[in-house]
Amino acid sequence: MSNRLKSEESPYLLQHAENPVDWYPWGDEAFERAKRENKAIFLSIGYSSCHWCHIMERESFENLDIAKLLNDNFISIKVDREERPDIDKYFQSVYQLMNGRSGGWPMSIFLTDDRRPFYSATYIPPEPRYGMMGFSELLESIDKKYSTQRELLVEKANEIVKFIDKKDKKIKATKLDDSIINRFERQAEELFDNINGGFNKAPKFPQASLLELLLDTYLLTKNQKTLDMATKTLDNMVKGGLYDLVEGGFCRYSSDDIWLTPHFEKMSYDNALLAEIYLKAYHITDNIKYKNIAESSLDFILKRMSSDNLFFSASDADGDEVEGKYFIYSYDEVYREFKEAGIPEDTISDLGISKDGNFEGKNIIRVEKDSKEIIKYDEAIAILLKIREGREYPFIDKKIILSWNAMVIKSLFKMAKADDTINQKYLEEAVNSLGKLLDSLYIDNLLYHSMLIDGEPKIEAFLEDYAYLADTLIEAYQTTLNENYIILATKIVNSAIENYYDYGIWKFSRGEFETDADSYDSSYPSSLSVMVDAILSISSLVDTVYKKFVFQTLQINSYDTMRQPISKPKMARVIMRYLRDDIIIKAKEDRLSI
């Protein structure tokens, strides 16, 4: 029997429409019932390609006993974090405050009937596991406390809300100077994995903005160690696993230190940002491999995650409820096909394929040596692709998110000018996609956040949409010299300043959830940093008056960024760029005064 999510458009919400849980979408109907029946709210936030979201659904939300506990004692609400990043951002802050660490998905929050949070978790197992209380036991405990100790829970919830909504936050500022460069290099060296590349231990994320800053810092300092950290990471990330050697494209993160075992979801933003990084590495090193990786990542998006010049948000990790089913291989199926094609057994082992497997008895394609050293490598990859053609491709969330589309389009513009001669294929893709995106999500001078392919937009844009669109319009102008792009970029920046800026402090969202814009990079560079970077470009290309907005923002974010630039690589990059611009301007003034 369907629940209330059956009328929603979000692919993630529709995935839960047949759960026995009496789910509500976020909205007044759920809140009014919670008030009327004096029940706590259970809020679950996730997204369609999230592996652990699928696990919690199978284990708990399809479990009739757990569903009964939820239906009898709580009002249950589902939120798609891609559709409503403002809601997700607010409750991720709640989780961090309550638990002292970053959250993730699925996000599980319990609220009072007036939407004040008093308990938070991420994935919750159905029975006690991993040192965690089982979901059934937790539901019973919270229901009992909500009935017998309501005042205590409300008091705790009020403290959390008061802290989250705190208005008089102290701001520290410090001098912006070139010491940030050496500090960043030193911090990067301290955290660098000298064996496998990357930073910190598993789970390992690509951290595109950190890699970008390493490459840009190398251009300033010519410190070979800095370049080596970037290239070692880039080289290790594409050995196979995190990067799909068969079809191209990066998965979201690796669950081990060596970049072998991902959760197999592929996000459009990862592939857009990493294509840009590999292109930059190509320009610095002249290593054609990096350009090929960038090209194959964008070609993957164009082939699998595109329709009518727009780009989908993500493809799923699972197939038929089996993680990575589409991407992995048994030894026997590969051996049979390779033998028939006359490909030697050495090639099988060179591709990381063994009888025991490297992933749950099956094999993720993995290459430790240069592919040119592998006999009939291209023919082998073609056979592996043919094997996949007999399988069903994982579910694709066909949501069109403005900011993520902008990232893809910017990378297409950069690919178009990767070499001395403009690549017309990528230029046409970029121009057509940008036009389609604006037609679809910029309506009557109002910017929208997302829509389904062939659908209508309903949710207005957030700061990240303004930031990434402005950034892409500037790239479009610099590639084509079409002044309409820079005029529109300036208009978008002006709207963002008007709606989200207040004397150096930026908001991510207004309205129902007014949230501050973070300067920390998470899955992708922070909207605050991207916006300030775009404004800095506008100040150079259009009018220097915009530089005051850059300076005020950098001053407010100076203390933390100057101390820990590795935690805010995009903001640190903006500071370095700002300092370079000041040097250039001063040099010009000095020449004029002579």
Confidence at residue 592, expressed as pLDDT on a 0 to 100 scale: 40
Mean pLDDT of 126-130: 89
CA distance 464 to 486: 18
Q: Are strands 318-319 and 322-323 parallel, antiparallel or unpaired?
A: antiparallel
Q: Which of 364, 389, 414 is the last residue of a domain?
A: 389
Mean pLDDT of 562-570: 97
Confidence at residue 582, expressed as pLDDT on a 0 to 100 scale: 60
Confidence at residue 171, expressed as pLDDT on a 0 to 100 scale: 80
DSSP state of 61: I
**pLDDT at residue 594 tops 80:** no
Confidence at residue 132, expressed as pLDDT on a 0 to 100 scale: 84
Cβ neighbours of residue 181 under 8 Å, at least 6 residues apart? 217, 220, 221, 576
CA distance 151 to 368: 60
Confidence at residue 585, expressed as pLDDT on a 0 to 100 scale: 45
Cβ neighbours of residue 527 under 8 Å, at least 6 residues apart? 403, 462, 463, 464, 466, 467, 468, 508, 517, 518
Q: Which of 172-176, 299-303, 453-457 has the highest mean pLDDT?
A: 299-303
Contact between residue 117 and residue 157 where contact means Cβ atoms under 8 Å apart: yes
Percent pLDDT > 90 in the chain is: 91
The letter for the amino acid at 447 is L
Which residue range(s) make up the domain with 137?
Answer: 4-164
In-domain check, residue 155: yes
At 19 the three-state DSSP class reads: coil
Confidence at residue 584, expressed as pLDDT on a 0 to 100 scale: 46
Other CB atoms within a 10 A radius of the CB of residue 397 amount to 26
**DSSP sequence for 167-197:** S----------THHHHHHHHHHHHHB-TTT-
Confidence at residue 591, expressed as pLDDT on a 0 to 100 scale: 42
Mean pLDDT of 183-212: 96
Among residues 298, 313, 527, the alpha carbon closest in space to that of 400 is found at 313
Q: Which tokens in the block code for residue 450?
A: 């997302």
Q: Which of 122, 149, 164 is the last residue of a domain?
A: 164
Contact between residue 136 and residue 67 where contact means Cβ atoms under 8 Å apart: no
Q: Are strands 23-25 and 74-80 parallel, antiparallel or unpaired?
A: parallel
Other CB atoms within a 10 A radius of the CB of residue 179 amount to 11
Mean pLDDT of 490-498: 98
For 591, the enclosing helix (H) or strand (E) is helix 569-593
At 16 the three-state DSSP class reads: coil
Q: How big, in percent rounded to 5, are the helix, strand and coil portions of the chain?
A: 55, 15, 30
The letter for the amino acid at 460 is E
Confidence at residue 272, expressed as pLDDT on a 0 to 100 scale: 98
List phi, psi (to 5°) of 547: -65, -20
What's the pLDDT band for 169 if we cut at 50, 70, 90? low
Q: Are strands 505-509 and 501-502 parallel, antiparallel or unpaired?
A: antiparallel
**pLDDT at residue 166 tops 80:** no
Contact between residue 358 and residue 351 where contact means Cβ atoms under 8 Å apart: no
Cβ neighbours of residue 584 under 8 Å, at least 6 residues apart? none
Read off the CATH number of the domain in which 92 is found.
3.40.30.10
Contact between residue 125 and residue 57 where contact means Cβ atoms under 8 Å apart: no
pLDDT higher at 250 or 102: 250
Contact between residue 341 and residue 348 where contact means Cβ atoms under 8 Å apart: no
Q: What is the pLDDT of residues 84-114, one digit of tens each?
A: 999 999 999 999 999 999 999 999 999 999 9
CA distance 24 to 43: 10
Other CB atoms within a 10 A radius of the CB of residue 72 amount to 11
- Count: domains in the chain: 2
End-to-end Cα distance, the chain: 82
What's the pLDDT band for 593 if we cut at 50, 70, 90? very low
- What's the chain's average pLDDT? 94
In-domain check, residue 77: yes
Q: Taking the model in full, what pTM does it have?
A: 0.94
Among residues 65, 73, 68, the alpha carbon closest in space to that of 33 is found at 73
In the chain, the largest separation of any two C-alpha atoms, in whole Å, equals 83
In-domain check, residue 441: no
DSSP H stretches of helix in 503-563: 527-541, 547-556, 558-563
DSSP state of 204: B
Mean pLDDT of 505-530: 93
Whole-number Cα distances in Å, 4 to 1, 25, 64, 81, 310: 10, 7, 17, 18, 29
The letter for the amino acid at 154 is V
**pLDDT at residue 29 tops 70:** yes
* Contacts by 142-149, CB closer than 8 A, 24 or more apart: 142/40, 142/110, 143/40, 143/69, 143/73, 143/74, 146/39, 146/40
Q: What is the pLDDT of residues 310-362, one digit of tens each?
A: 999 999 988 777 889 999 999 999 999 999 999 999 999 999 999 999 999 99
**pLDDT at residue 588 tops 70:** no
CA distance 203 to 223: 28
The letter for the amino acid at 281 is A
Among residues 400, 419, 558, 535, the alpha carbon closest in space to that of 471 is found at 535
The letter for the amino acid at 136 is S
In-domain check, residue 47: yes
Other CB atoms within a 10 A radius of the CB of residue 143 amount to 18
Cβ neighbours of residue 583 under 8 Å, at least 6 residues apart? none
In-domain check, residue 488: no
Q: Dihedral sign, CA of 304, 308, 311, 313? A: negative
Mean pLDDT of 426-445: 98
In-domain check, residue 360: yes
Q: Which tokens in the block code for residue 472?
A: 């892409």
Contact between residue 479 and residue 470 where contact means Cβ atoms under 8 Å apart: no
Q: Which tokens in the block code for residue 172?
A: 């520290």
In-domain check, residue 263: no
What's the pLDDT band for 454 if we cut at 50, 70, 90? confident
Contact between residue 527 and residue 570 where contact means Cβ atoms under 8 Å apart: no
CA distance 273 to 429: 17
Percent pLDDT > 70 in the chain is: 97
Contact between residue 173 and residue 556 where contact means Cβ atoms under 8 Å apart: yes
In-domain check, residue 105: yes
Among residues 275, 273, 277, the alpha carbon closest in space to that of 216 is found at 277
Mean pLDDT of 136-145: 96
CA distance 233 to 259: 10
**pLDDT at residue 587 tops 70:** no
Residue carrying structure tokens 């005020």: 552
**DSSP sequence for 341-365:** HT--HHHHHHTT--SS-SBTTBB--
Q: Which of 117, 136, 164 is the last residue of a domain?
A: 164
At 592 the three-state DSSP class reads: helix
